[in-house]
Amino acid sequence: MRNKGILALVALGLFVSPLSQSTVKAEGNEYELSKKLIESQIEKPLQKDIVNFHVLNQFEKVVTGSQSFTAKSFNKMGTTSSIVSNEEDFLFETEYNDDFDFANDTSYEKPTIGQLLPLYDVDIHRVVVPKDGILLVVGGTNSDAIDLGFGAMQKDFVENDKLIYLGSESDETGFEYKAYQAKAGTYYIGVIDSDNDYYDDNTEYDLYAIATAFIDNVAPNKPSVNKVDNNDKVVTGKAESGSTVTVKSGNTVLATANAASTGAFSAKIAVQKAGTKLAITAKDSAGNVSSSVTVTVADVIAPSKPVVNKVDNNDKVVTGKAESGSSVTVMNGNKVLGTAKAASTGAFSVKIAVQKAGAKLTVSAKDSAGNVSSNASVTVADVIAPIKPTVNKVDDNDRKVTGKAEANSRVTVKVGSKSLGSANADSKGNYSVKIKAQKKGTTLTVTAKDKAGNKSPKKTIKVVRH
């Protein structure tokens, strides 16, 4: 399209010399192919969410440089009326730049100024896109003699999804902006005078300017996050180099940290409860935010040792308290006697077979994450009294009482409330209690008491005559 706006660029007296002294060469094939590609980039408005007008305004300042000029700043002799810009603010086309191998390098900091001479001249400029994002190209001219055509392309006019034309915008000053979604890499900007097919009216005073900008509109990749457990005070992983990593629990921001040049990050957090879901995102310097990674805080803390109530040799359950929802196991040595789940209050009741007095039971709790508590130990209490002892015949000459009682129990012989003697039954239950000889007809009572203090019923016997 013809851009009739005047480039407020630089005094002609500064750049006529470097441009006019270079050797120029028109290349028919590059011109025709460039024209075809440029014309294929039909005018379509840029979507507002692709490049906003603030960016375009900033871009225009780059093109126009540090000084502002109007059409009246240039006279017919190519000199400025009063103000002169600094030549260092711009790059200047250097011929021969009519094919890809001899393309001029561009700069994101400075616009490039050039001429389109002779007829069918095409200028090719090289631009490097540092990462995936938008390549923005602006062009304009100071002359009605130039119908400026320009467009970004790949080397040798290759077309694929590495460079996608998004649309263009023109402003009232005559600047045209073109945007491309580009993968990281090297690209080229072809510049032509589209009216060369009709007439060649360009002079060395007829100039164009192009400038480039890069807009990072590609969100970082989703961060990779290492396991987080309920002991951790940091969240670690990898994200885009230099990005800001944010860790959230629900709507609460727990921490932010910058990823290093290697991508590694470490964000300090308060210890979180097991099962808490953390969302981690990365935001680059352009404000693009990655999709979030969700990490569930793992449980690595074992339950506390269960509290176990007394267990006796009548009990068919073991009761107590353990971590809510944990699985409680009761064992006798290596044998599992029973398991049960603790209620939300922590209370548990594990069914077991009745155990012998003195048996040592171990009780542990395992949470849903598989963490096992230390063992609580309980010894089965003896609450069952020995059976009534058996007593052999006792006569008025006997100085001992014999019989059978519970093994290892303590056997006591009394007359009324008076104790005549005591002795321990052996492992087979046999006992022999020394006494003084008692009169015929005296009633003796014999009892057995086990180690737990349980006392048997009384066995009575009368002393007989020998």
Q: Is the residue at 82 inside a domain?
A: yes
Sign of the alpha-carbon torsion through 242, 243, 249, 254: positive
pLDDT greater than 90 at residue 77: no
Write out the residue range of the structural domain in which residue 143 sits.
Answer: 12-215
Q: pLDDT per residue over 285-326, tens digit each?
A: 989 999 999 999 999 999 999 999 999 999 999 999 999 999
Q: Is the domain of 66 the same as that of 159?
A: yes
CATH number at residue 88: 2.60.120.380
Which residue shows structure tokens 């690209």? Answer: 187
User: For the residues 368-372, what does the mean pLDDT come to?
Assistant: 95
Q: Is the domain of 344 the same as that of 278?
A: no
Q: How many C-beta atoms surround the C-beta of residue 359 within 10 A? A: 16
pLDDT over 90, % of the chain = 73
pLDDT band, residue 29 (cuts 50/70/90): confident
For residue 208, say if its preceding peptide bond is cis, omega within 30 degrees of 0.
no
Residue 48's contacts (CB-CB under 8 Å, 6 or more residues apart) are none
Q: Is the residue at 3 inside a domain?
A: no
Mean pLDDT, the chain, rounded, equals: 87
Q: Is the domain of 208 the same as that of 64?
A: yes
Q: Is the residue at 194 inside a domain?
A: yes
Q: Is 263 left (phi over 0), alpha (psi -120 to 50) or beta?
A: left
Q: Is residue 21 classed exposed, middle or buried when 0-12, 13-18 and 19+ CB atoms within 10 A define those classes?
A: exposed
Q: pLDDT per residue over 406-416, tens digit each?
A: 999 999 999 99
Distance from the Cα of residue 234 to its chain's centroid: 11
Q: Of 37, 52, 51, 2, which Cα lies nearest the Cα of 175?
A: 2
pLDDT greater than 50 at residue 15: no
Q: Give the residue from 379, 404, 435 where a domain finishes.
A: 379
pTM (two decimals): 0.66
Q: Is the domain of 192 the same as that of 234?
A: no
C-alpha 222/C-alpha 243 separation (Å) is 11
Q: Give the residue from 379, 403, 425 where a domain finishes.
A: 379
pLDDT band, residue 60 (cuts 50/70/90): low
For residue 386, say if its preceding peptide bond is cis, omega within 30 degrees of 0.
no
C-alpha 303/C-alpha 367 separation (Å) is 7
By residue count, the chain amounts to: 466
Q: Is the domain of 193 the same as that of 89?
A: yes
3-state SS assignment for residue 228: coil
Q: Are strands 244-249 and 252-258 parallel, antiparallel or unpaired?
A: antiparallel
Q: Are strands 317-321 and 133-141 parallel, antiparallel or unpaired?
A: unpaired
Distance from the Cα of residue 348 to its chain's centroid: 37
Q: Is the residue at 143 inside a domain?
A: yes
Q: Of 6, 222, 31, which Cα lies nearest the Cα of 123?
A: 31
Q: Is the domain of 338 the same as that of 364?
A: yes
Q: Of 13 and 267, which is predicted with more confidence?
A: 267
Q: Is the domain of 334 the same as that of 273?
A: no
Q: Of 210, 232, 334, which Cα lies nearest the Cα of 276?
A: 232
pLDDT greater than 90 at residue 82: no
3-state SS assignment for residue 444: strand
C-alpha 282/C-alpha 290 separation (Å) is 5
Q: Is the domain of 315 the same as that of 349?
A: yes
pLDDT band, residue 52 (cuts 50/70/90): low
Q: Is the residue at 159 inside a domain?
A: yes
Q: Is the residue at 147 inside a domain?
A: yes
Q: Is the domain of 200 the same as that of 58?
A: yes
C-alpha 215/C-alpha 135 separation (Å) is 7
pLDDT at 248: 98
Q: Give the residue from 215, 238, 259 where a domain finishes.
A: 215
DSSP codes of every residue in 191-203 = EEEGGGGT-----
Q: Is the residue at 1 inside a domain?
A: no
Residue 76's contacts (CB-CB under 8 Å, 6 or more residues apart) are none
Q: Is the domain of 59 the same as that of 187?
A: yes
pLDDT at 20: 42
Domain count, the chain: 4
What is the token pair recorded at 466? 């020998």
CATH number at residue 372: 2.60.40.10
Q: Is the residue at 2 inside a domain?
A: no
Q: Is the domain of 210 the same as that of 236?
A: no
Q: Is the domain of 18 the same as that of 81?
A: yes
Could you give the C-alpha distances from 150 to 45, 159, 176, in angstroms and in order? Answer: 16, 16, 9
